[in-house]
Amino acid sequence: MGLGNGGQGKGKMLMLILCMCMLVLLLAGFRSGADQGSAAASAAAPASSDPAALPQSLELLAAVGQEVTAAGSPLRLVLKWQGEYSGNAVDTVRDADLLAAQLGLGKAESSEEYGHATYRSSGSPDLYSKISMFWSVLGQGTSYVIVTVETEDLLKATALQKVAQEAGTLMQAAGITPEWNASLQGVASLQDSPREALAGIEGTISGRLSGLKAVEDYEDDTTYSRSYNVSGLNRFVNSGDHKVALQAAVHKNGNDNSNRVTIGLPLITIEY
């Protein structure tokens, strides 16, 4: 299960609109969650949007990932910084090019996509990592910016954590208030039904995170997913009456019948 597949033409336009809407909703959830955090929690740890808070979360995700995946299974990680930018047309072009250059991506390539001016750039900080910038001008002096750092093999991507943290710092310096979300994926060590496999994975996660409480779930023929409130994490997304801080899913691969596990902080934003 994933975010969906569009067709050609109108399908692609609909997909872009849906993705942008989802990202805006995620940001709204992040900000709402941060606003409701206690003063004590804020004093004890960096704000969730602070790049300084990122390494600890990535280390936690990597540690859990290694415990619940098969030995030798590459760990795919996708981390996204995303946020809004405000500026006139001249400043927008200048700052888009500047951010791309500071990220080590060179000059951003401009184009028009579905009536919006966009700027894209990508590069590789090491042999195992990729970083990309997507800057979309929404109008009325507002842009939406996404910087994605990803790897197909986290344990070999030695530069990824530093690059990911620097990306958030550079976005802040560009006048963007970014929020991050991270998703990790690999072949599950448990090869039972998705529901049974996730139950075992949940036990492993609860051993590292106190106060893990399942609040939502989803199931179909090949996938089982649960979302959790975690009292030990001060960062969450509001989902109905629940504060979701972590999501985990197991998907049965139809090609080789293996289980693929995906873990997201605070939500999964890649294909299961």
Q: How far is CA 242 from CA 162, 217, 230, in A?
A: 32, 12, 11
Model pLDDT for residues 82-94, shown as the tens digit of each residue: 999 999 999 999 9
Q: What is the pLDDT of residue 9?
A: 44
Fold of 51-59+78-180: TBP-like (3.30.2030)
Cα torsion 103, 109, 112, 117: sign: positive
DSSP 216: E
**Helix axis angle, 54-68 to 194-208, nearest 10°:** 130
CB 181 within 8 A of CB 168: no
Task: Judge whether residue 99 has pLDDT over 80.
Answer: yes
> Percent of the chain scored above 90 by pLDDT?
68
Instruction: Provide the token pair at 61.
Output: 């995700």
Quick check: helix, strand or coil at residue 272?
coil
Specify the pTM. 0.81
Cα(97)–Cα(78) distance, integer angstroms: 23
* Average pLDDT in the chain: 84
3-state helix, strand, coil in the chain (%, to 5): 35, 35, 30
- Band (pLDDT 50/70/90 cuts) for residue 48 is low
Model pLDDT for residues 117-145, shown as the tens digit of each residue: 999 999 999 899 999 999 999 999 999 99
